[in-house]
């Protein structure tokens, strides 16, 4: 398959690309920073530098690559876990506006398969409302919602000690994401059993 991966340089995106390439998929990896181009090439992805909030550019990028599948792994989270609450508005915006931008681009490109990152726990307030809106948009479009537990492992907020449930090792999450590429529309919970 040809797969357009938004959020390709995130903690899970970096792990998904090699798995997709091992399965002989062609991957375009979207990042908002030109400084990530070399890393994406090294992983085997065709780099696409694009801000998800530039919907016209996103549409052009997706239609230009002509994918069979779009995977939405975008978040806007700080590197410091202690700052998550103060950065919640940016992540809510990604879930609302970023998801809409990617769905519109996928529709313009005639893409019928769409997978999107979500969470397997309840977020309070507007963040939770944004999660619900994002999931509804994806499901209405016939996509798949991937509800991940809290990631742990290298490069995550919990590099050595697992957080409380729901949780999942980031490498397990990546492998289960790739195993979900052909799953019918619906919700998949990716947590430790």
What is the 3-class SS of the chain, one letter each residue? CEEEEECCCCCCHHHHHHHHHHCCCEEEEEECCHHHHHHHHHHCCEEEECCCCCHHHHHHHHHHHCCCEEEECCCCCCCCHHHCHHHHHHHHHHHHHHHHHHHHHHHHCCCCEEEEEEECCCCCHHHHHHHHHHHHHHHHCCCEEEEECEEECCCCCCCCCCCCCCEEEHHHHHHHHHCCCCCCCEEEEECCC
Task: Please report which confidence band the pLDDT of residue 85 belongs to, taking 50, 70 and 90 as the band edges.
Answer: confident
Residue 20: give the domain boundaries. Answer: 2-190
pLDDT for 29-40, tens place per residue?
999 999 999 999
Domain count, the chain: 1
Domain CATH for 166 = 3.40.50.720
pLDDT for 100-152, tens place per residue?
999 999 999 999 999 999 999 999 999 999 999 999 999 999 999 999 999 99
pLDDT for 151-165, tens place per residue?
999 999 999 999 999
Q: Is the predicted pLDDT of residue 79 greater than 90, yes or no?
A: no
């Amino acid at each position: 398959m040809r797969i357009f991966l938004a959020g390709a340089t995130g903690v899970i995106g970096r792990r998904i690309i090699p798995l997709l390439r091992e399965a002989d998929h062609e991957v375009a990896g979207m990042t908002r920073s030109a400084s990530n181009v070399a890393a994406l090439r090294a992983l085997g992805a065709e780099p696409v530098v694009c801000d998800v909030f530039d919907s016209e550019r996103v549409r052009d990028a997706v239609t230009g690559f002509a994918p069979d599948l779009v995977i939405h792994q975008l978040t806007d989270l700080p590197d410091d876990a202690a700052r998550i609450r103060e950065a919640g508005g940016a992540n809510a915006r990604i879930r609302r506006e970023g998801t809409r931008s990617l769905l519109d681009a996928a529709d313009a490109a005639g893409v019928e398969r769409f997978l999107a990152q979500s969470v397997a726990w309840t977020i309070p307030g507007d963040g939770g409302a944004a999660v619900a809106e994002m999931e509804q948009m994806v499901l209405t479009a016939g996509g798949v919602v991937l509800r991940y537990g809290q990631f742990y492992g290298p490069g995550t907020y919990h590099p050595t000690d697992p957080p409380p449930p729901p949780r999942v090792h980031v490498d397990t999450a990546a492998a289960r994401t790739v195993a979900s590429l052909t799953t019918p529309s619906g919700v998949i919970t990716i947590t430790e059993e």
